[in-house]
């Protein structure tokens, strides 16, 4: 499954591929200013033959001569037409992120802290807008914005996972309103 992909259909309609908290893939019409760029997670940063630095993103793109401050797990904003880096977002506490795998798939929150476990999986603690905290593996975290400014449109529910009781109350309220 591709995360944050751009799909073009006939008549030049552009859709952003996102994942909602209820495990559904969402095809939402992107805002016009979002059509020009794509967010990519940095998977590798290294030096190639003849000392040429490059980075590899989550979707397999190789970008030569990146900004030296870009590290693994950061997010880069790529211009789709030229494949040039427009901006970068550091993987650090306080930045907005979306979960791309595991039990918390589709949830959105801010990074609280990162636990390093040498020889095992690093754990990232995240707090959503409702104040619920959860933890997931580092590989599942995709930074989508700086502090509270998201670089992409969020799916319905804004990435907040409701408890069973909250889902029930929401359904009952909607049913009562329609009756």
Compute the distance between CA of residue 54 and CA of residue 63 in angstroms, rounded to an integer: 5
- Residue 79's CB is within 10 A of a number of other CB atoms, namely 13
CATH architecture for the domain at 96-178: Roll (2.30)
Tens digits of residue pLDDT in 39-77: 999 999 999 999 999 999 999 999 999 999 999 999 999
Tens digits of residue pLDDT in 83-135: 899 999 999 999 999 999 999 988 999 999 999 999 999 999 999 988 999 99
Q: Alpha helices, DSSP H only, in 10-149?
A: none
Q: Residue written as tokens 């109350």?
A: 169
Domain boundaries, the chain: 96-178
Cβ atoms of 134 and 84 within 8 Å: the answer is no
């Amino acid at each position: 499954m591709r995360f944050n992909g751009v799909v073009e259909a006939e008549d030049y309609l552009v859709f952003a591929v996102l994942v909602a908290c209820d495990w559904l893939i969402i095809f939402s019409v992107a805002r016009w200013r979002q059509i020009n760029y794509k967010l990519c997670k940095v998977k590798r940063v290294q030096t190639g033959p003849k000392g040429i630095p490059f980075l590899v993103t989550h979707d397999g793109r190789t970008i030569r001569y990146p900004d030296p401050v870009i590290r693994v797990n950061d997010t880069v904003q790529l211009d789709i037409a030229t494949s040039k880096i427009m901006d970068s977002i550091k993987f650090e506490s306080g930045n907005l992120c979306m979960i791309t795998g595991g039990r918390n798939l589709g949830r959105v929150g801010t990074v609280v802290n990162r636990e390093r476990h040498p020889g095992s999986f690093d754990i990232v603690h995240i707090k959503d807008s409702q104040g619920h905290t959860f933890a997931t593996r580092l590989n599942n975290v995709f930074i989508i914005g700086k502090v509270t400014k998201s670089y992409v449109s969020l799916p319905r529910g804004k990435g907040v996972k409701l408890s069973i009781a909250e889902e029930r109350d929401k359904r009952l309220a909607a049913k009562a309103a329609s009756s």
